[in-house]
Amino acid sequence: MPENGENSIWINAGEASGDMHGAALIRALSARDPKLRFIGMGGPAMAEAGMELLYESRMLSTLGLTEVFHALPRIVRMLAGTWRELKRRRPKALILLDTPDYNFFLARMARRLSIPCYFYISPQVWAWRTGRVRFLARHAREILCILPFEQAFYESHGVRAAFIGHPLMDEIPFAEIDAMTPEADLVGILPGSRRKELHALLTEFGAAARELSRARPGLRFEVIRAPSVEREALLAGWPSDVPMTIVEPSDRYRAMRRASLLVAASGTVTLESALIGTPTVVCYRLSNLTFALARRIIDVKYVSLPNLILDEAVFPELLQDDARAPGITAKALEWLDEPARLDRVRARLADLRSRMGEPGAPGRAAAIILDDLAALGGKTV
């Protein structure tokens, strides 16, 4: 017999940002239906929100198109276990966040088991492998979009979609951070949340900090720790001769606002920094093979979400060999040596918030999902 059956929803989040957004969604769903139970894959935030973690998000902490092959045995075991649990528990719905290559397998399972499937935090099929939109049209009840241009893209391909606004509009304490004044001598460092990001970028960020200290004595550096990263890993990758302070995840938004500029690994954090209003040097490095493959299949002008949404290079993007200490130092000094440039970037970022929707995205997502499930009324999907 199913263990949770009608009262459970399976939620799958494979990234640190997905864990944060998933937790907010769980709270919104619970507010509408306190009897719901939640199971699936997530991290500490989703567990704290009340979800039974069958798998932890960090088990998918791979990066790139080639590195994933090393994790294949573990991924296969997880998928097999997920299939067994879905058959046994028969949740009333699957909600899939981020990690599309993995979650598409779960969407197939849901279809085989006639379980309604919803995508929250839309897969970025508009950026690469656009043929996957046909998969979504077949397997997803609805795509809940958090970026302003996504709904039109999906609807043009015959996929049910709704723009609900971005969850960050609820999570960032705008009133508090808007009252803060950036500190001219402070540089924030965000080296990423995954092991391979740290390996590729933290040493270069530390070397750039050393060069910046020599060029501008008196600069201070704060390294903002992602929830999935241990302090020891940050200390091990940072040069011992460059003083820095590690900021805990709970204080990350205030730390991002305090800084005059940020140096960050590409990812959700660049959208956070843009909404907060802090100019950011965006960096990313992959294996040479992965990067060569990515250049052939990714069809967007920019890698960072703020630049994509605003359709201009507001944040400098340093990729591959450009994302090394000399290039990072040069870009940072352009801003530090000419504060008027920083002010122009901040002014441009002010337009971004108005495009991201009103607060309340998790509540709107919860309403759409539960109303659709009620309309289905147990019908086969």
Give tens-digit pLDDT for 174-210.
Answer: 999 999 999 999 999 999 887 777 888 999 999 999 9
- Domain membership of residue 216 (yes or no) is yes
pLDDT computed for residue 72 by the predictor: 80
Tokens read off for 198: 């740290």
Confidence check: pLDDT of 247 > 60: yes
Q: Are residues 160 and 248 in the same domain?
A: no
pLDDT computed for residue 283 by the predictor: 96
**Tally of structural domains, the chain:** 2
- Region label for 181, one of left (φ > 0), alpha (ψ between -120 and 50) or beta (otherwise): beta
Q: Are residues 243 and 131 in the same domain?
A: no
Q: Are residues 195 and 309 in the same domain?
A: yes
Confidence check: pLDDT of 380 > 90: no
> Which uninterrupted H or E stretch holds 223?
strand 220-224
As a whole number of angstroms, the distance between CA 89 and CA 30 comes to: 19
Q: What is the pLDDT of residues 328-354, one digit of tens each?
A: 999 999 999 999 999 999 999 988 988
- Domain membership of residue 236 (yes or no) is yes
The rounded mean pLDDT for the chain is: 89
- Domain membership of residue 381 (yes or no) is no
Q: Are residues 116 and 250 in the same domain?
A: no
Q: What is the pLDDT of residues 19-71, one digit of tens each?
A: 989 999 999 999 999 999 999 999 999 999 999 999 998 877 554 455 566 77
Residue 315 CA from chain centroid, whole number: 18
- Domain membership of residue 321 (yes or no) is yes
**Over residues 119-124, mean pLDDT:** 84
According to DSSP, the β-strands at 259-265 and 280-284 are parallel
As a whole number of angstroms, the distance between CA 201 and CA 203 comes to: 6
Q: Are residues 196 and 329 in the same domain?
A: yes
Residue with tokens 């060569």: 292
pTM reported for the whole predicted model: 0.81
pLDDT computed for residue 77 by the predictor: 92
- Domain membership of residue 302 (yes or no) is yes
Domain that holds residue 69: 5-165+360-376
Q: Are residues 273 and 335 in the same domain?
A: yes
Confidence of residue 285 (pLDDT cuts 50, 70, 90): confident
- Domain membership of residue 303 (yes or no) is yes
pLDDT computed for residue 277 by the predictor: 97
pLDDT computed for residue 126 by the predictor: 61
Confidence check: pLDDT of 127 > 70: no
Using N-to-C axis directions, what is the helix angle for 100-112 and 72-89, rounded to 10°? 30
Q: Are residues 21 and 48 in the same domain?
A: yes
Q: Are residues 47 and 137 in the same domain?
A: yes
% residues pLDDT > 90 (the chain): 68
Q: Are residues 347 and 367 in the same domain?
A: no
- Domain membership of residue 32 (yes or no) is yes
Q: Are residues 351 and 365 in the same domain?
A: no
Q: Are residues 206 and 314 in the same domain?
A: yes
> CATH number, domain at 289?
3.40.50.2000
Q: Are residues 188 and 331 in the same domain?
A: yes
pLDDT computed for residue 78 by the predictor: 93
Using N-to-C axis directions, what is the helix angle for 195-215 and 325-337, rounded to 10°? 50
- Domain membership of residue 342 (yes or no) is yes
Using an 8 Å Cβ cutoff, are 281 and 201 in contact?
no
